[in-house]
Amino acid sequence: MTQKQSTGKITTRDRIIILLSIIGLMVCFAVLLPQTRQMIMNWIVYIFQKEAFQTWIKTLPSYAMGGICFILFFDYCTLTDSGRVLVQKVRQEIEDCLSEIDYRSFIKPFLLMSGVYLLGILTIIRADFSYLDDVGWAIFGHREWYNWSRYLVVLLSYIVQPEIRMTDISPLPQLLAVPVLACSSVLLAYITGNKKITGVRLLASIPLGLSPFFLECLAFKFMAPYMALSILASIVPFLFIDRKKAFLFCSVACLWVMCMTYQAASGIYPMIAVILCFRAWNNERKPDKEILSFLGRVAFAFCFALLFFRFFLMRPPVETYTSTEMYPVAHIISGTLSNIKEYVLIINRDLGMIWKIGIALILFFFIAKSMYQSSRKKLFSFFVSILFIGISFVLSFGVYSLLAKPLYEPRALLGFGVFLAIVCIYVVSDYKKSAIVAVLALNWCFLIFAFSYGNALADQARYANFRTGILLHDLNTLFPNRKREDMTIQFKNSIDYAPSVKNIAKHYPVIERLVPKRLGESWWDICYFLEYFNYSQFENADISVITTSENGNDSNTLNLPVMLDSYYHTIQSDGDHILVTLKH
Predicted model pTM: 0.91
Q: DSSP string spanning 500-515?
A: HHHHHHTT-TTHHHHS
Residue 553: band (very low, low, confident or very high) from pLDDT cuts 50, 70, 90: low
Q: Tell me the C-alpha distance between 526 and 524, whole Å.
A: 5
Q: Tell me the C-alpha distance between 265 and 151, whole Å.
A: 16
Give residue 28's pLDDT. 83
Residue 478: band (very low, low, confident or very high) from pLDDT cuts 50, 70, 90: confident
269: helix, coil or strand?
helix
Condensed to tens digits (0 to 9), the pLDDT of residues 525-542 reads 777 777 778 776 666 666
222: helix, coil or strand?
coil
Backbone angles phi and psi of 563, in degrees to 5? -90, -35
Condensed to tens digits (0 to 9), the pLDDT of residues 503-523 reads 999 999 999 999 988 876 666
Q: Tell me the C-alpha distance between 131 and 527, whole Å.
A: 12
Q: Tell me the C-alpha distance between 551 and 554, whole Å.
A: 8
Give residue 520's pLDDT. 67
Buried b / exposed e along 486-517 (16+ C-beta atoms within 10 A): ebbbbbbbbbbbbebbeebbeebbbbbbbbbb
Q: Tell me the C-alpha distance between 267 and 395, whole Å.
A: 5
User: Which of the 8 DSSP states describes residue 548?
Assistant: T
Rg (CA), the chain: 27
Condensed to tens digits (0 to 9), the pLDDT of residues 408-457 reads 999 999 999 999 999 999 999 888 889 999 999 999 999 999 999 999 99
Give residue 89's pLDDT. 94
Give residue 57's pLDDT. 67
